[in-house]
Amino acid sequence: MTDDVLIVHGGTPIEGEIRVRGAKNLVPKAMVAALLGSAPSRLRNVPDIRDVRVVRGLLQLHGVTVRSGEEPGELVLDPSHVESANVADIDAHAGSSRIPILFCGPLLHRLGHAFIPGLGGCDIGGRPVDFHFDVLRSFGATIEKRADGQYLEAPKGLRGCKIRLPYPSVGSTEQVLLTAVLAEGVTELSNAAVEPEIEDLICVLQKMGAIISMDTDRTIRITGVDRLGGYTHRALPDRLEAASWASAALATKGSVYVHGASQREMMTFLNVYRKVGGEFEVDDAGIRFWHPGGPLSAIALETDVHPGFQTDWQQPLVVALTQASGLSIVHETVYESRLGFTSALNQMGAHIQLYRECLGGASCRFGQRNFLHSAVVSGPTTLQGADLVIPDLRGGFSYLIAALAAQGTSRVHGIGLINRGYENFADKLEDLGAKVERA
């Protein structure tokens, strides 16, 4: 028996209530930030997902004590005895995640050196770690490529600098923040990412004693300090998971109340959801999403960095667009391979055509580089159950949505990958009345 296959009997609307906890794109980074402190930190609203377990293991390898707190979803992280870790142990923990690259700055500050093995993560297009290493060199780090990874040192310490990112990369912005807060002098970061999770990480660092300002032109200035303390912080809710459940409700003609969902971080998604024909209602505890009946409307959609339509919202919504009347146009501007998941949807009965041209006017990272990064979705079409192999985190959840919306039975392989970012998703499906079996 294995828990890596989920059998989904489709055709039933999902209905009920589920809860989202802290954002996958914030919580592991806030855990890394605890490395910088001279006192314990307390992080609340932590989801039980694989990325959290990976970072917890890496922190423990480096001498950080991590224990559960007083309330469910609370971690207490004590960095009093940070130490070097065994290379093989780091590699064993880190192979399935890209987050270890963010350990570099904190470890250089605490130990004077760091080791980073080869990195994993979802295969959705180029996500070069060169940005990260270029950033670290700008602070004064030296990087030696070895057979088993990259070895970093800071022989003269780390110093503030001016950095302009060629693209507002979330990971590179996080790298700068986690490195600059204890670097000597002032760091000015231009063309920074400004996602809500970045703002929440800045809140964490400010609680620790950092001095960080954000300008309206994507410029972040960090004045280095000599010492940071701990923090107590409740992570912002996962807007990407909330939107995934919203898309599932729409695709299956169902209704889902998402406890913990927050309107402010989801405003762009909510506008698009309403244009497609989905309904939602916001209250103090969360958001209810539902299909109101009648036909859904085709739309033109372009992904973008925040405050645009997030690329991680795109794949789940595309499944719902297969049920909309007319031609929907989707222009993916962030990850060049993110639309590859649509081939399986076509095998299930969808009509989705991919194009190399930019079908939209938004600035695009790779419009002239021959990638299939635009899609035309013709609907509505009836989806049929199929054998599905999960390609990446968001694509994987999208396959679950397609299987739920399809007629007949689907076998979804590789569901372990979904555990990276969706807490207890199989239990939540059952709570919503989905007919699923663990194979």
Catalytic residues: 122
Torsion, Cα 392 332 344 421, to 10 degrees, reads 20
- For residue 71, which phi and psi values (nearest 5 degrees)? -110, 155
Directed axis angle between helix 170-180 and helix 196-208, to 10°? 10
Q: What are the residues whose beta carbons fall under 8 Å from the beta carbon of 81, sequence distance 6 or more?
A: 63, 64, 65
Neighbouring-strand partners of residue 107? none
Q: How far apart are alpha carbons 372 and 29 in whole angstroms?
A: 32
What is d(CA 138, CA 132) in angstroms, rounded to the nearest whole number? Answer: 10
Instruction: From residue 401, give the alpha-carbon distance in Å to each of 113, 143, 407, 436.
Output: 44, 43, 12, 12
Residue 89, Cβ density class (10 Å: 0-12 exposed, 13-18 middle, ≥19 buried) = middle
Shortest CA distance to 239 belongs to which of 221, 213, 266?
Answer: 266
Three-state DSSP class for residue 392? coil
Max distance between CA atoms of the chain, in angstroms, equals 66
The C-alpha atoms of residue 395 and residue 122 are separated, in whole angstroms, by 10
Taking the C-alpha atoms of residue 163 and residue 176, their distance in angstroms, rounded to an integer, is 9
Cβ contacts of residue 145 below 8 Å, gap of 6+? none
CA distance 403 to 388: 9
Token pair listed for 281: 């209602």
